[in-house]
Amino acid sequence: MSAYWIAHVLVHDSTAYGRYAALATEAIASHGGEFLARGGRYRVMEGPERPRNVVARFPSLEAAVACYESPAYQAALAHARGAAERELVIVEGVPD
């Protein structure tokens, strides 16, 4: 069953966050992840505004968690710390 990363981000340092994004893209792809939404137009209906919104699909919850915990993603994440305010949730999809 697929799983999804859903991230809401407010970037403060676009240079550092750009380094994160480049490295994170590679880590996500190496765990079977693919982006369904990345930036783009949005409209906040509830909650705090975070102008960068990202949805990535993974083959399973286990793959999504393994990606997050991987050394490659943690190295990428080091660039995002202090460069952005983020919320990230990993959620399992509904059965097909």
pLDDT given at position 91: 98
Amino acid at 23: L
Number of domains in the chain: 1
Q: What is the pTM of this model?
A: 0.91
Identify the domain containing residue 24 by its residue range: 3-92
pLDDT given at position 96: 72
The rounded percent of the chain whose pLDDT value lies above 70 is 100
pLDDT given at position 32: 98
What's the whole-number mean pLDDT along residues 57-74? 98
What's the whole-number mean pLDDT along residues 30-57? 95
CATH code for the domain of 70 = 3.30.70.100
pLDDT given at position 76: 97
Backbone angles phi, psi at 81, to 5 degrees: -65, 125
pLDDT above 80 for 15: yes
